Amino acid sequence: MEDDKGPQYGKPDFVLLDQVTMEDFMENLKLRFEKDRIYTYIGEVLVSVNPYQELPLYGSEVITQYQGRELYERPPHLYAVANAAYKAMKRRSRDTCIVISGESGAGKTEASKHIMQYIAAVTNPSQRAEVERVKDVLLNSTCVLEAFGNARTNRNHNSSRFGKYMDINFDFKGDPIGGHIHSYLLEKSRVLKQHVGERNFHSFYQMLRGSKEELLQKLHLQRNPAVYTFTRQGAGLNALDSDERSHQAVTQAMRVIGFSPEEVASVYRILAAILHLGNIEFVETKEEGPEKGGLVVAEELLVDHVAELTATPRDLVLRSLLARTVASGGRELIEKAHSTAEACYARDACAKAVYQRLFEWIVNKINSIMEARGRDPRLHGKDTVIGVLDIYGFEVFPVNSFEQFCINYCNEKLQQLFIQLILKQEQEEYQREGIAWQSIDYFNNAAIVELVERPPRGILAVLDEACSSAGTITDRIFLQTLDTHHRHHPHYSSRQLCPTDKSMEFGRDFRIKHYAGNVTYSVEGFIDKNRDFLFQDFKRLLYNSVDPTLRAMWPDGQQDITEVTKRPLTAGTLFKSSMVALVENLASKEPYYVRCIKPNEEKVAGRLDEGHCRHQVAYLGLLENVRVRRAGFASRQPYSRFLLRYKMTCEYTWPNHLLGSDRAAVSALLEQHGLQGDVAFGHSKLFIRSPQTLVALEQSRAHLIPIIVLLLQKAWRGTLARRHCRRLRAVYTIMRWFRRHKVRAHLVELQQRFQAARQPPLYGRDLTWPPAPAVLQPFQDTCQALFCRWRARQLVKNIPPSDMAQIKAKVAAMGLLQGLRQDWGCRRAWVRDYLSSATDNPTASGLFAQRLQTLREKDGFGAVLFSSHVRKVNRFHKSRDRALLLTDHHLYKLEPGKQYRVMRAVPLQAVTGVSVTSGKDQLVVLHTRGQDDLVVCLHRTRPELDNRVGELVGVLASHCQGEGRVLEVRVSDCISLSQRGARRLVSVEVKPEQPVPDFRCSRAGFTLLWPSR
């Protein structure tokens, strides 16, 4: 939420106006309203203008801005008032109250909701379950009471038709632990009849439009409100929210509060019974009928519905509607039949009374759930209270009756209390601070209050006398009595006393000059509404209901009809007593006020009707409130708070003063500005007489704030930079020492682990390297490589020179075949020249030696790399036994059957690669450049099927490495080869029944049939 700084937003406090006139007041009010600043202070009184639209002024973020702040630290807001009342209650253990007043449609109910939301948001930080339960009941009770106590009127779509005062109890920690709701003067006549453009209570329409079809059928109801007499007037009108959604919200709220499903069902049955009761009509029978001259119900099915819904006998319901039972002097019971008018009166009185008792029962039910339980001040400490009063404002309708008279009397009492408390607070503060008090002239409405309530000639006393007098006393006679008693009263008049005033009618109207303006009342119905009489037959009927909820609403129905009782108190007397108790309750608490203003009659957003608002400002006494606040001094602040705000404007107080006290520092500051003549010094506060002094100080402060902000920003940024630098230095120092520690610890561990690495024959092969710190990982990688080379050296230096060639061949084979082929013969000795061995070739080793000598003399090769018998397959798909000789110059294919005659010689430089499979077979494909690839299978080995493929690959690869060229070795189970320019495939098939390895040919290639052992 934005601040209210700048002249474009007007004055946030009316006390700061240059001139206290109605014109200046309205100009400031209108300017702030147009800028969406709907809240303005008068000292500690908050003035609120209803915007008739949603504004971004509420929510958890805004609540955080006001929580724990002083009243003037943030822009005017309801949250600020709620926070001030909560702090006063919590810090000083003072009972406080927030009085919300204003006319219908001014936003009182919404204001009370926001206050409740604030209190709920800032309490119970420890999330205690009992406190959360109380908060849930407090918040949800508003929804339920609005449904049963609010209605749409011509002035407000959600008008409260009852007064509400809620006490919230807090424990010593400031958490809500309970509460109590007082309701005042429910407008129960609305149940019967409403003005054009108005509705009955919301609860009826919500039930009809929001209930499911099954429930409506059980209640014998139709969804259309126009079907029922009591809701027909408002059937085409809507509330602010849809009745369907509101019905769901109310049902959910009742469940959260703690209403049982049976109690909720009873509530809806009672509402349905009232609607059916309103549709009952009476007709007189003809003289010749069986019920001669009697009265009957036009539609007796409605009586059945009422009896079923109220759980009472049908015949007793019908008898109560058509007659009443009275007791004679001898206690003899007499049944007296009703006339049509009496029956209609009895029906309407019953409907009003049932709804009033239902509303009171709902309030009492909420109170019983919400009350503080098991509180002992000796154990739990003193409990404190915040009261929230949301009560009807002044009402002036085209026709004003008994309800408007009581409502306006209530507002007179509250206005009297408001002026008295404001003056009392001012006087007490001046006396406490040692400041001379100046008397202030203000309008005292005590004469109006006495006109209404003072016995024996007050209007309420005269009305009670008329209700209790024997004989027929009419409303006209009551008016004549008032004229006689008050003909000289300055605030009372009537047509009889002012014959020329044609705005009033003879014998019907009288006028009271209220503080809020003149209101003309019609006395028609005053006596009946004040008497508020209900025949005892209905009370006994409903007390004997089987429904326990309905029965609990009528405890007075248990009286015997012959029992003599005192005359019940009238409605006016009960209301007067409740108002006296309310005023005494409020006077005992520290009050905070919210004065609500309705900007226009059409409820249009963004439009402020000056004439309409002037009238409200006048009758709410806001201008007089400003004058009272400014009569002596426009502003007052504790010395410490004044210094905190303005000390930068004086060299003696910035940044901190060295004077003897805050008062001396304030005096020095004012003397430097030349303002000491416009102030007074109290014991703990400074009192400023004129707003111009505050404006001068604020301007000086506003000029210096940007400079101070830059200075503070510079200092703070420097502090942050130095702090960051120190932290970085500390971090780097810690990191450096930590790295040293980790390196030292790692090196010590390496030293301990590898102490025995020099011991043969393993030379540290079974040792594991510990995980290295990240900073040592490259170092450890290098160490591991060096260790491996060292260990290899230790192993190799003990090998005879004659075995080095075999070792190199095995290393070459391991690099090419490790992990690709299952077995490649690394664990046996490699003989290489198997055809010269008498073990492997016992019959022809001599012949092969001769052939070998011949080839050495012819080709001049230096060494035999490999020799072995093989099974080969050629391009003609013929397989034969042959011998393979591999020297350092050539690759020879020999024929063993013809003394190892050379059949093919391929220069070793032409051999480009070798392909083998991943299995245990001995298939080898030698790839050559410019010639056909050679496909062979090593066989006739000793032992049988000995694995020599790895040996062939190793010796050939080792020789190629010595020559500086790379031999390509491929491992695949399906080998591609080239013969006569055509691509062929060769694969291996393992067959257990195959005696010796052999090739099977097909058009696609060859398959080596390998025996499985």
The amino acid at residue 863 is: A
The amino acid at residue 40 is: T
Which residue out of 160, 183, 445, 915 is catalytically annotated? 160
60 is catalytic: no
CB burial of residue 130 (10 Å; 0-12, 13-18, 19+): middle
Going by DSSP bridges, is the β-strand pair 96-101/968-971 parallel, antiparallel, or unpaired?
unpaired
Instruction: Note if the bond before 12 is cis, omega within 30 degrees.
Output: no
Report how far Cα 617 is from the mean position of its chain's Cα atoms. 38
Which residue out of 28, 153, 156, 522 is catalytically annotated? 156
**Which residues are CB-neighbours of 679 under 8 A, at least 6 positions away?**
670, 686, 687, 688, 689, 693
Long-range Cβ contacts of 774-781 (<8 Å, 24+ apart)? 775/739, 775/742, 775/743, 776/742, 776/743, 776/746
Which residue out of 10, 105, 210, 825 is catalytically annotated? 105
Q: What are phi and psi of 970, to 5 degrees?
A: -120, 140
947 is catalytic: no
Q: What separation in angstroms does the CA of 34 have from each of 27, 31, 54?
A: 11, 5, 14
Place of tokens 């709220």: 253
972 is catalytic: no
Place of tokens 């001040």: 377
Instruction: Note if the bond before 655 is cis, omega within 30 degrees.
Output: yes
**Which residues are CB-neighbours of 112 under 8 A, at least 6 positions away?**
100, 142, 164, 166, 388, 390
Query: In whole angstroms, what is the distance from residue 131 CA to residue 148 CA?
Result: 26
Nearest to 868 by CA among 965, 955, 974: 955
Residue 836 φ/ψ region, left for φ over 0, alpha for ψ in the -120 to 50 degree band, beta for the rest: alpha
- Per-position b or e across 763-801, b if 16+ CB within 10 A of its CB: bbeeeeeeebeeebeeebeeeeeebeeeeeebeeeeeee
231 is catalytic: no
105 is catalytic: yes
638 DSSP assignment:
E
159 is catalytic: yes
Which residue out of 187, 395, 403, 426 is catalytically annotated? 395
CB burial of residue 371 (10 Å; 0-12, 13-18, 19+): middle
Instruction: Note if the bond before 761 is cis, omega within 30 degrees.
Output: yes
494 is catalytic: no
Which residue out of 48, 109, 266, 384 is catalytically annotated? 109
- Per-position b or e across 110-126, b if 16+ CB within 10 A of its CB: bbbbbbbbbbbbbbbee
572 is catalytic: no
CB burial of residue 133 (10 Å; 0-12, 13-18, 19+): middle
Which residue out of 10, 393, 632, 950 is catalytically annotated? 393
The amino acid at residue 109 is: T
Which residue out of 96, 141, 150, 159 is catalytically annotated? 159
Q: Which two tokens stand for residue 719?
A: 């502090």
Residues annotated as catalytic are 104-105, 109, 156, 159-160, 393, 395
